[in-house]
A and B are shown apart, each in its own frame.
Chain A
Amino acid sequence: MDPILRLEAIRHSYGDHFTLNIPELGIQPGEIFAVVGPSGAGKSTLLRILNFLEKPQQGQVYFHGAAYTSGNLPIELRRRMTTVFQQPLLLRASVWGNVSYGLRVRGSRNGHETIRQALEEVRLAHLAKQSADRLSGGEAQRVSLARALVLNPEVLFLDEPTANLDPGNVRIIEEIIRRTNQERGMTVVWVTHNIWQARRLAHRVALLFDGEIIETATADAFFNHPQDSRTRAFLTGDLIY
């Protein structure tokens, strides 16, 4: 199957020390693809390049086989993907106002039912009218997830969305992502430093270390038969960083 997103010969430097260097990476439609790696490995940079929010200094990013950059990606294509970041960054509006934002910028006026369903899915329907700045961290992140889900994106990017949450909220978010992926066939690219989360959810996993992808494999192969010594060290917690 042709990948929905593909990176080719990507090189991107930050400062003097860090360079993201990815010769080739493909994301298959309908899969949950987890990118794991220690802090500072370049996971978030990789995500920003994959979702066309940042233009790589070298290389190409393909969406459905065509190369685009963050500058020339048509808005209709940009609107087929969205991202949930580690920090929810909600607008100074009600919960409903936040969840409806993406629909409003698309000029959609018939999203009432979709918004209601998304809020029910993240178990926040009772807080629809509440101001977003009164939410707890977990609730805010669930609102952030709901505002992504109402858009029914083809690709959902998740940049460590559960990094700061308690186990209860982590479980809710993981369940929603798994169900959404299964029911809607939504492609999910999930960046996490939590290998257990990747093990629970991902179909395929890549280890990013010092800006390079060390190993990409199906979840089963990655966790049970890692090929690279650094993957084994990362899984056992012996990789020092």
Chain B
Amino acid sequence: MEIFLNGLRQALALIMSLDPSLIEIVRLSLAISGLALVISALLGLPAGLFLGLKDFPGKRMVVALVYTGMGLPPVVVGLTIYLLLSRQGPLGDLGWLFTSRAMIVTQTILALPLIIGFTMTAIAAIPSALIMQLRSLGATRRQVVLTLLYEARSGVLAALVAGFGAIISEVGSVLIVGGNIEHKTRVLTTAIVLETRKGNFSLAIALGIILLTITFSANWLLLHLQGHLDPRQQ
């Protein structure tokens, strides 16, 4: 219990002191996970829309793959990316191993199935007759798609929340591909692992509290946005 209280105190002290190394770690965590979230949203929202709206041969297999992807073991993803990016690997020439780019790729792969899956489910729940209704009201195809995304906004926001939550708190894969290099690839989760190994439990707990605060703030922001967009709560 004392460790937790010390951790809380240290977390507050760290935050209040605006410790440069802490700010750097937080900034890097947000930048890497934020960018991975943006990339996976840019890829995942259209893919989820397509899967939610269209029927095609083999769709069931694709959906099964997406669902499997939602439960991908991060360490396995990290290991695969590591092997691909390692010097002898097929993508070794990129020189991305132990860089933030490798971490972004890994986190994008982890968030992508979550965003596709949640978006697909939200879009599929919209009555298909609505598309005909929107077209008859004069919407172009693009306007129909945007309206459907807006109609499914609760599910789409849940997709973003799930994706962000999964990658900001992920440690195994980013440790493998990033290497926890100070000033370069050290993020909150890998820093927690490092401090725990060094026996700095209070600092590790402090970093954990900061990580939780960030996740909570992001979720709070999204929920606030969701409430703002919902006519029932206005």
Contacts and interface: CB of A to CB of B under 8 A. Distances in A.
A and B together in one complex: yes
Given A78-B138, A82-B137, A89-B127, A53 B132 contact: yes
B150 to A, nearest CB: 8
Given A89-B130, A92-B151, A105-B143, A53 B136 contact: yes
For the residues of A in contact with B, the DSSP-based class is mixed
A133 B133 contact: no
Interface stretch (A94-102, A202-210, A217-225): A94-102
Interface string B16-49: 0000000000000000000000000000000000
A83 interface: yes
Contacts of A92: 151, 153, 230-231
A147 interface: yes
Contact of A87 (B129, B136, B143, B230): B129
A91 B151 contact: yes
A106 interface: yes
A140 B18 CA distance: 55
A181 interface: no
Interface residues of A, number: 29
B137 A102 contact: yes
Given A85-B129, A87-B129, A94-B231, A53 B135 contact: yes
Nearest to A95: B231
A81 to B, nearest CB: 8
A41 B28 CA distance: 64
A31 B29 CA distance: 66
Given A91-B151, A105-B143, A134 B137 contact: no
A160 to B, nearest CB: 13
B232 A105 contact: no
Contacts of B80: none
A85 B143 contact: no
B139 to A, nearest CB: 5
Nearest to B136: A83
Contact of A105 (B132, B140, B153): B140
B147 interface: yes
A192 interface: no
A151 interface: yes
A66 interface: no
Interface in A21-41: none
A89 B133 contact: yes
Contacts of B140: 75, 105
B135 A105 contact: no
A51 B132 CA distance: 11
Interface in B95-135: 127, 129-130, 132-135
A89 B147 CA distance: 13
A89 B129 contact: yes
Nearest to B154: A92
5 contacts: A97-B231, A105-B139, A106-B138, A131-B232, A148-B137
Interface of A: 48, 51, 53, 75, 78-79, 81-83, 85, 87, 89, 91-94, 97, 101-102, 105-106, 131-134, 147-148, 151, 157
